Amino acid sequence: EYRVLHEADLRDYLAALPEVAARLGGAPASWSISEVGDGNLNLVFIVKGAAGGVAVKQALPYVRLVGESWPLPLSRSHYEYLALTHQARLAPGLVPDVLHHNEALALVVMELLEPHIIMRKGLVAGTTYPRFVDDITTFLARTLFLSSDLAVTAAEKKEGIAAFAGNHALCKITEDLIFTDPYRIVEQNRWTQPWLDAIAAAFREDLDLHVAISRLKLKFLNAPEALIHGDLHTGSIMVTESQTKVIDPEFAFYGPMGFDIGAVIANLLMAYLASSGHKRSPGDRRAFEAWVLETVEGAWTDFVRKFLELWRTEAKGDAYPVTLFGGEAGAARLEAERQVYMARLFQDTVGFSAAKIIRRILGLAHNIDFELIEDPKRRAICEARSLRLARAMMVDAASFRTIGAVTKAARDARDW
Ligand code: SR1
Ligand code: MG
């Protein structure tokens, strides 16, 4: 039966799990347990013993950020477990190992990622991550391609969609918080007042923007292209200089691939545009910002290279039947079609990326990239530049034909 676990409960609970107890080592009474969750939804405990540590995540029956007035199904823990185990098969080594799952308690026990930190915190501190592009593009290319119609049969794909179909309450959060609320008056919306009042009001009247966000919302609702993480911001990524782990896939479902790729790019663009608000030396700032924009470019180009490589070598799905593309002419035509596919995916990525930026500045849930900028006026300048860039990316997505056009626009935005 579900109950919210407190320290003493958790100690007894973990002591009864032989594999976990062995990993922690020593007497259960000696284990240190602290609740460290700083996300919007759940409890997260770090438990350490003489031999090692574990992380324990427990879903609350409500949205932690708001409180009990906003109930949320515990079943998200089931979908998180399902996604983590699926992603571990598709992209080995890039998600934490799951040690134990209890459906009734909505609880997942995972390996403790140490000395990893949440990537967003590292970015706010101006840290660069040399492995990030390679790891995140492997994660994206493999999880997206290998769960798509390009890689699996129609029957397998439909089973996959069905397995995640019940996660609709989490999808509804995204549908409201990302695709609807920032563009209308909603009590829970927040922004840096009074400087962003005019932009927020303009966005509520901007019909070009409303059409663009509605098209993206429709795609989010009706494009089950692949098993997506569903919340792949830099707070869902843990890093060291030599390792990257993607965590927290509780929003996972079969949706549009561009939503995940766009999330990564959006969060890097926000780190870039927030950078001038954080205290760092001019040299450190230049180096950090150059790395972030290189990373945006690498995230897309390496993703494309890896995705296409998988398509050329692992296309076991029912889409694009090989019998229709025989001979040299067929192979050439299929290769051209792959480029068309990637161009369409790029447009989706640009649009979703824009939507992710706007929601973090005008919606309910913000990010520390901007929130930790001490001077509110400075913060508002960084946010206004981001909003203007995001509006252009969403309304004129087609004018961004390459990732270089996106990074150029981000660079130009620094002069606004
Ligand atoms: C009410 S939940 C707000 C946000 O937190 C999660 O991390 C998702 O990004 C969600 O939109
Ligand atoms: Mg999360």
Whether residue 330 sits in one domain with residue 214: yes
Range of the domain at 64: 7-111
Per-residue pLDDT reduced to its tens digit, 225-281: 999 999 999 999 999 999 999 999 999 999 999 999 999 999 999 999 999 999 999
Ligand nearest to the CA of 181: 1
d(CA 390, CA 356): 9
Is the ipTM value over 0.90, yes or no? yes
- Residue 209 falls inside a structural domain: yes
Single residue among 111, 130, 154 that ends a domain in this structure: 111
Whether residue 373 sits in one domain with residue 309: yes
Neighbours of ion ligand 2 (CB under 5 A): 39, 248
CA angle 294–353–86, rounded 5-degree value: 90
- Residue 178 falls inside a structural domain: yes
> What pLDDT was estimated at residue 39?
87
- Residue 38 falls inside a structural domain: yes
Whether residue 322 sits in one domain with residue 263: yes
SS (H, E, C) 293-323: HHHHHHHHHHHHHHHHHHHHHCCCCCCCCHH
| d(CA 19, ligand 2 centre) in Å | 26
> What pLDDT was estimated at residue 131?
97
Whether residue 88 sits in one domain with residue 19: yes
d(CA 56, CA 31): 13
Closest CA to 368 of 377, 378, 358, 379: 379
d(CA 221, CA 212): 14
Low-confidence ranges of the chain (pLDDT < 70): none
d(CA 242, CA 114): 12
Whether residue 26 sits in one domain with residue 121: no
60 lines ligand 1 (CB under 6 A): no
> What pLDDT was estimated at residue 38?
87
- Residue 162 falls inside a structural domain: yes
Whether residue 264 sits in one domain with residue 134: yes
Whether residue 95 sits in one domain with residue 128: no
- Residue 390 falls inside a structural domain: yes
Whether residue 100 sits in one domain with residue 150: no
Single residue among 76, 111, 146 that ends a domain in this structure: 111
d(CA 229, CA 352): 14
Whether residue 296 sits in one domain with residue 218: yes
| d(CA 407, ligand 1 centre) in Å | 26
From atom 8 of ligand 1, which residue's Cα is the shortest distance away?
231
Whether residue 188 sits in one domain with residue 61: no
Whether residue 172 sits in one domain with residue 61: no
| d(CA 280, ligand 1 centre) in Å | 29
63 lines ligand 1 (CB under 6 A): yes
Single residue among 62, 79, 111 that ends a domain in this structure: 111
Report the nearest atom of ligand 1 relative to the CA of 178: 11
d(CA 288, CA 302): 20
231 lines ligand 1 (CB under 6 A): yes
- How many structural domains are present in the chain? 2
d(CA 136, CA 246): 8
From atom 3 of ligand 1, which residue's Cα is the shortest distance away?
365
Per-residue pLDDT reduced to its tens digit, 32-91: 999 999 889 999 999 999 999 999 999 999 999 999 999 999 999 999 999 999 999 999
- Residue 407 falls inside a structural domain: yes
**CATH code, 245:** 3.90.1200.10
Whether residue 209 sits in one domain with residue 61: no
- Residue 1 falls inside a structural domain: no
The verdict on pTM exceeding 0.90 is yes
> What pLDDT was estimated at residue 369?
98
Ligand nearest to the CA of 367: 1
Q: Where are the beta strands (DSSP E) in 23-137?
A: 32-35, 42-48, 53-59, 62-63, 67-71, 98-102, 107-111, 117-118
Pocket probe mutation, ligand 1, options 41, 175, 236, max atoms within 8 Å of Cβ: 41
**CATH code, 62:** 3.30.200.20
